Chain A
């Protein structure tokens, strides 16, 4: 039994800060009277508190950057890998909060509930990426899921939002229970919940390793659900389409990143020695996911739904990085530039800005036209040129065109796949990238190559409504800037991601 000291709480400082923020919002919301709409703190006020605490939490994460790798509270690993993902999460959630806050505030019944849940979901993700213990992994994933179910169905009066929430919940609960079964198999066979100890236990008594494949499969059901891999992705389009767009934005980025991070940690740290068993499973899932996502995205008339399927396909590409994660047979793994895992991290980081940006543009169009169908995007280049060009950049990045962040991500996972000589997978990925170009181009075509509705003078009608929310526009601009910056000058990101990934890989080998 390890001793736990109060001092160790310092290593979960970012989460404690978020917890304080969440509870503060909860209490403030509770003590103020609900009598009149104007009294007390408005939704915007709570949003400010949330953003403030997210910012302070980010500072705490940055403080952890140079901290030595350590296991806090015997369950949570504080290392460069988790720090990288925490940055992804905090930045993503801040972007979503600023850009989507207004959208949510206009729609919700209470004032503080959304922001409280928003903080809690961030805590769950923040803990999950560091979780080095099966119990902690299950608890955080479950915490994340349950909070997300509520957030997805948050618009109680909106039938689609409610349906999305229920669907997400039904799939999610089944997936979680299957994952739990898998974890219990691992625990039973190894006698430990700690990932590193599990690895050691299996190394010590190899005869127990016959549970590895079934256990991995069952755990991948739960994690595959979180990352919307085929065949566990059917909730994705309905949920993404029905959920409030800001919630969709974080589900498709930060929450997905968490799923991949946990998957990477479990597979690399806990089951790294059994790479030969799980690589084929991942490869199969990856192929299936890419095809399912891309083929179904082709026929979607709704851009939000199309992006949902596209994000399924993107999950397939990201998985390539885990398939091609460096194995121990490559003795000098440190010298390999493409260790697969850094590809995953780079991809996730670039994808964060690209996808949040894209969803925010969709949200603006939705707000202005009342629809997110592709027809709502027709002639956008004339009606709102800034947004159209922003979306163009995001679509280029999603396609993986050079000089965008998306290219760097694709380059790394694709490069790792080729370097580790999974040629079939590389070919299938290339074919899929080709298919993907079709539907991304459809949006480009609608925005740039289709005439907008015109008034009597033959001028394009500007979008209706009181113009776009400035905060959202700002975030779209930030996302464009970062997407391009990552594409043009990715050096620091690559170094950082490689550092973080090496950190995880050195644990095993």
Chain B
């Protein structure tokens, strides 16, 4: 049975269903919305055993096999681990959403988008094909955009959404390019295939592919310097923030790195890029979090920091680091998600998320306080929470980092410990300021006017309790939950033995020191804020993004101003200049000096010279003469001079054609301008005249060069001899032209006749057109003396 596809379809179909039933009208909508993801979660739990035993469920559906596009799903350890987080937290968030939106009409739309996202995210983590993964990846970007911009009445939401989409969208394109290169290098787009390909890191395509993939992953997982979109994404409704921008979507980048770890890691490029990017992001996020008062902003920066930790850990090639990644992801999902949900409850109850206005919430909302307290303990890494376990493994990974020398490892260890301390301070700040202190410092403290129902609190509480229970079940979970994903990251079976208590190890000592230091930082938090406030604003990613944004718009303005709406002559000047530049570039490449032979011995004769001079003069007159009629006539002179050239070089047929065309042109132009007011040509500024002169001159020179070039080429044989020799034997006619017309080119002549007939038909239709008839009537009304049929017919025939 196609269970994986069925799960995805179930979630995908839930999306429109929830939208259409307008869930804000039903009391039980929260429960029913939570059921589909819960069902998928339960099914995944049943798969834990087989997956841990190495028996992976896999499904493939052809999509576009010519390019390796197929829907390939494979439930290995990592996929299952992430899948459980996606649907498990998804169920809680779906349940919570109903109470968050209460009876607002928008609820249905939100559910629709949320479930679309859930489908895309689940598909992403289950993919066994990089192209499938990319498709789902883009799906999460779009749904994320729509969710951030959900409250579109607020400019913040629109801006934040757009920023997020542009950053992750650009990252997505980089990822696509990286994926294509990776597929080329490995000869396969399937992830299991790529991982199994040996020596991928030696491929010449490896550096380019890696950098592109990393850009994709870093933008998605909000790594420095792309981290700035994540705080901006906090304009989304809180359930979306909790789900997308903390628990799942932002982990997609980490997931991708973990997924490709066996294939791409092990080079110094991989190691240092991840280590430095992750490390910088980790510190930056943790420090920035202390600067803000908005609950969600604090949590967002803490999330950035946590993502940095995960990326940094993936730099290593040690099972300790992999363990730290897996525990870190799980711990973070189970404490940060609830904290966001709690921020939403606080916002709902008091109408504020500002830490300066909040105080003493524990009394009014005891259950919320319990959930928040447990989550904060985990965040701070106090034993025996999951957060503590995560921090222990993180520090342990540093102590056993064999890629680094002693100094580097100590530096990393210190930075990680400092981050741990900052987390303690942040957790204390959140708990103390919002829940326990008696008095808020702000002038208008927010009061609880709307205590949350127990159902509203249930979702974060359940998540937190799950998180708190896990450390006590390590014995059974080690094998069932942790071994498989760690093995997937390692690319080989790896045994995991996590335990809460290892005795008084150095790691524990560092951990405890960090907790103490964090408490200290908590007390001096106002001072830290003051220092942070002094930092120049330009360091902020949003400012840089806006500057780039403005620069692009500025450039767009400039280009638009100069090209669009310019006069026809300016536009033509651009086009001509481009053509001339390209032509000259072409000439330089063929070195005409060596290829084109000019016979200087034959100097031009007097008639030629005179005609040429007249031609030039007529051309000058055409552009200088102030009246239109004068310009038309001198243009006619130019044409006649060209005709004379043809006569001079004994080409009477060409001359005749040219003359006919010239006369017709002049007559037509005069006829047209006859109807237009005879005002003089507008004045042109000197600068523009110079430009026009330059452009015209260079076009002329380019044309001259071109003619010179073509005259230097040996042409193919003339066809005329063929007709001359064959007219009598094949065509039985002495008049060669006649033979050509009716015999050699019989079909051409037939075609010409048909064309002429069609043109005549068209002309006839045109003459009968109502507009022309009325014109004629008006004309005759004004000039009754011309009212004879013959005269009028002549006039029309010419038109």
- The residues of A with any CB-CB pair to B shorter than 8 Å are 1, 4, 23, 26-27, 29-30, 34, 109-110, 113, 156, 167, 170, 174, 178, 181, 184-185, 188-192, 201, 208, 210-211, 213-214, 217-218, 221, 231-232, 234, 237, 281, 292, 295-296, 298-300, 337-338, 396, 401-403, 408, 411-412, 414-415, 418-419, 423, 426, 430-431, 433-435, 437-438, 441, 445, 448-451, 489-491, 494-495, 498
User: What are the residues of chain B within 8 A of A414 when measuring CB–CB?
Assistant: 176-177, 180
Q: Are A214 and B555 in contact (CB under 8 A)?
A: no
Name 8 interchain pairs, CB-CB below 8 A, sorted by A: A30-B768, A113-B765, A184-B710, A185-B709, A402-B135, A418-B184, A441-B162, A449-B152
Q: Are B590 and A210 in contact (CB under 8 A)?
A: yes
Q: Are B582 and A434 in contact (CB under 8 A)?
A: no
Q: Are B579 and A402 in contact (CB under 8 A)?
A: no
Given the complex of chains A and B, what is the CA–CA distance between A216 and B593 in angstroms? 21
Q: Are A26 and B765 in contact (CB under 8 A)?
A: yes
Q: Are A296 and B559 in contact (CB under 8 A)?
A: yes
Interface residues of B in 578-599 (CB under 8 A from A): 578-579, 582-583, 586-587, 589-590, 595
User: What are the residues of chain A within 8 A of B769 when measuring CB–CB?
Assistant: 109-110, 113
Interface mask (B46-83 → A, CB under 8 Å = 1, otherwise 0): 00000000000000001111111100000000000000
Q: Are A402 and B138 in contact (CB under 8 A)?
A: yes
Interface residues of B in 764-793 (CB under 8 A from A): 764-765, 768-771
Q: What is the count of residue pairs linking A and B with beta-carbon distances less than 8 angstroms?
A: 175
Q: State whether the Cβ of B738 lies closer than 8 Å to any Cβ in chain A.
A: no
Closest 9 CB pairs of A and B: A191-B716, A449-B152, A298-B556, A213-B586, A402-B135, A231-B578, A430-B173, A295-B556, A234-B571
- The interface-forming segment of B300-308, B325-333, B560-568 is B560-568
Q: Which A residue's beta carbon lies closest to that of B589?
A: A213
Q: State whether the Cβ of B139 lies closer than 8 Å to any Cβ in chain A.
A: yes
Q: Are A296 and B579 in contact (CB under 8 A)?
A: no
Q: Which A residue's beta carbon lies closest to that of B134?
A: A402
Given the complex of chains A and B, what is the CA–CA distance between A295 and B655 in angstroms? 48
Given the complex of chains A and B, what is the CA–CA distance between A437 and B172 in angstroms? 12
Interface residues of B in 246-296 (CB under 8 A from A): none
User: What are the residues of chain B within 8 A of A30 when measuring CB–CB?
Assistant: 761, 764-765, 768
User: What are the residues of chain A within 8 A of B744 when measuring CB–CB?
Assistant: 1
Q: Are A34 and B715 in contact (CB under 8 A)?
A: no
Given the complex of chains A and B, what is the CA–CA distance between A451 and B714 in angstroms? 70
Q: Are A156 and B771 in contact (CB under 8 A)?
A: yes
Q: Are B715 and A191 in contact (CB under 8 A)?
A: yes
**B307 vs chain A, min Cβ distance (A):** 22
Given the complex of chains A and B, what is the CA–CA distance between A184 and B716 in angstroms? 12
Interface residues of B in 581-630 (CB under 8 A from A): 582-583, 586-587, 589-590, 595
Q: State whether the Cβ of B553 lies closer than 8 Å to any Cβ in chain A.
A: yes
Given the complex of chains A and B, what is the CA–CA distance between A412 and B64 in angstroms? 12
Given the complex of chains A and B, what is the CA–CA distance between A472 and B134 in angstroms? 34
User: What are the residues of chain A within 8 A of B135 when measuring CB–CB?
Assistant: 402-403
User: What are the residues of chain A within 8 A of B176 when measuring CB–CB?
Assistant: 411, 414
**B151 vs chain A, min Cβ distance (A):** 9
Q: Are A221 and B706 in contact (CB under 8 A)?
A: no
Q: Which A residue's beta carbon lies closest to that of B596?
A: A210
Beyond A214-B706, A296-B556, A296-B563, whether A29 also contacts B579 by CB under 8 A is no
Given the complex of chains A and B, what is the CA–CA distance between A34 and B166 in angstroms? 57
Q: Are B177 and A430 in contact (CB under 8 A)?
A: yes
Interface centre among A178, A299, A402, A433 (most CB of B within 10 A): A402
For A188, give its contact among B169, B180, B583, B715 (CB under 8 Å): B715
User: What are the residues of chain B within 8 A of A418 when measuring CB–CB?
Assistant: 177, 180-181, 184
Beyond A156-B771, A189-B715, whether A435 also contacts B180 by CB under 8 A is no
Q: State whether the Cβ of B170 lies closer than 8 Å to any Cβ in chain A.
A: yes
Q: Are B715 and A437 in contact (CB under 8 A)?
A: no
User: What are the residues of chain B within 8 A of A178 when measuring CB–CB?
Assistant: 579
Q: State whether the Cβ of B43 lies closer than 8 Å to any Cβ in chain A.
A: no
Given the complex of chains A and B, what is the CA–CA distance between A430 and B212 in angstroms? 11
**B182 vs chain A, min Cβ distance (A):** 11
User: What are the residues of chain A within 8 A of B547 when measuring CB–CB?
Assistant: none
Q: State whether the Cβ of B758 lies closer than 8 Å to any Cβ in chain A.
A: yes
Q: State whether the Cβ of B4 lies closer than 8 Å to any Cβ in chain A.
A: no
Given the complex of chains A and B, what is the CA–CA distance between A437 and B184 in angstroms? 28
Q: Are A190 and B716 in contact (CB under 8 A)?
A: yes
- The residues of B with any CB-CB pair to A shorter than 8 Å are 62-69, 134-135, 138-139, 142, 149, 152-153, 158, 162, 165-166, 169-170, 173-174, 176-177, 180-181, 184, 208, 552-553, 555-557, 559-560, 563-564, 568, 571-572, 574-575, 578-579, 582-583, 586-587, 589-590, 595, 706, 709-710, 713-717, 744, 747, 758, 761-762, 764-765, 768-771
User: What are the residues of chain B within 8 A of A156 when measuring CB–CB?
Assistant: 771
Q: Are A231 and B557 in contact (CB under 8 A)?
A: no
**B229 vs chain A, min Cβ distance (A):** 13
User: What are the residues of chain A within 8 A of B717 when measuring CB–CB?
Assistant: 191
Q: Are B587 and A214 in contact (CB under 8 A)?
A: yes
Q: Which B residue's beta carbon lies closest to that of A451?
A: B153
Given the complex of chains A and B, what is the CA–CA distance between A447 and B709 in angstroms? 56
User: What are the residues of chain A within 8 A of B552 when measuring CB–CB?
Assistant: 295, 298, 435, 438
**A191 vs chain B, min Cβ distance (A):** 2
For A491, give its contact among B63, B582, B706, B770 (CB under 8 Å): B63
Given the complex of chains A and B, what is the CA–CA distance between A489 and B71 in angstroms? 11
Q: Are B579 and A217 in contact (CB under 8 A)?
A: yes
Q: Are A430 and B174 in contact (CB under 8 A)?
A: yes
Given the complex of chains A and B, what is the CA–CA distance between A415 and B557 in angstroms? 32
Q: Which A residue's beta carbon lies closest to that of B579?
A: A221
Given the complex of chains A and B, what is the CA–CA distance between A29 and B765 in angstroms? 8
Q: Are B710 and A185 in contact (CB under 8 A)?
A: yes
Given the complex of chains A and B, what is the CA–CA distance between A142 and B710 in angstroms? 24
Q: Are B66 and A491 in contact (CB under 8 A)?
A: yes
Q: Are A402 and B139 in contact (CB under 8 A)?
A: yes
User: What are the residues of chain B within 8 A of A188 when measuring CB–CB?
Assistant: 710, 713, 715-716
Q: Are B177 and A34 in contact (CB under 8 A)?
A: no
Q: Are A419 and B184 in contact (CB under 8 A)?
A: yes
Q: Are A296 and B564 in contact (CB under 8 A)?
A: yes
Q: Which B residue's beta carbon lies closest to that of A187?
A: B716
User: What are the residues of chain B within 8 A of A491 when measuring CB–CB?
Assistant: 62-66
Beyond A237-B564, A338-B67, whether A26 also contacts B716 by CB under 8 A is no
**A166 vs chain B, min Cβ distance (A):** 10
Q: Which B residue's beta carbon lies closest to that of A401?
A: B138
Q: Are A299 and B63 in contact (CB under 8 A)?
A: no
Given the complex of chains A and B, what is the CA–CA distance between A234 and B569 in angstroms? 12
14 further A-B contacts with Cβ under 8 Å, apart from A113-B769, A191-B715, A435-B552, are: A208-B713, A210-B709, A214-B587, A234-B574, A234-B575, A403-B139, A423-B208, A426-B177, A430-B170, A434-B166, A438-B162, A445-B152, A449-B149, A491-B65
Given the complex of chains A and B, what is the CA–CA distance between A437 and B579 in angstroms? 31
Beyond A26-B762, A299-B553, whether A292 also contacts B582 by CB under 8 A is no
Given the complex of chains A and B, what is the CA–CA distance between A185 and B582 in angstroms? 16
Q: Are A449 and B158 in contact (CB under 8 A)?
A: yes
Q: Which A residue's beta carbon lies closest to that of B713?
A: A189
Given the complex of chains A and B, what is the CA–CA distance between A408 and B553 in angstroms? 29
**A328 vs chain B, min Cβ distance (A):** 20
Q: Which B residue's beta carbon lies closest to that of A300?
A: B560
Given the complex of chains A and B, what is the CA–CA distance between A299 and B173 in angstroms? 23
**A409 vs chain B, min Cβ distance (A):** 13
User: What are the residues of chain B within 8 A of A26 when measuring CB–CB?
Assistant: 761-762, 765
Given the complex of chains A and B, what is the CA–CA distance between A221 and B702 in angstroms? 15
Interface centre among B713, B761, B771 (most CB of A within 10 A): B713
Q: Are A210 and B595 in contact (CB under 8 A)?
A: yes
Interface centre among A34, A221, A411, A450 (most CB of B within 10 A): A411
**B752 vs chain A, min Cβ distance (A):** 12
**A130 vs chain B, min Cβ distance (A):** 17
Q: Are B768 and A34 in contact (CB under 8 A)?
A: yes
User: What are the residues of chain B within 8 A of A434 when measuring CB–CB?
Assistant: 166, 169-170, 173
**B554 vs chain A, min Cβ distance (A):** 10
User: What are the residues of chain B within 8 A of A401 when measuring CB–CB?
Assistant: 138, 142
**B691 vs chain A, min Cβ distance (A):** 16
Given the complex of chains A and B, what is the CA–CA distance between A26 and B744 in angstroms? 32
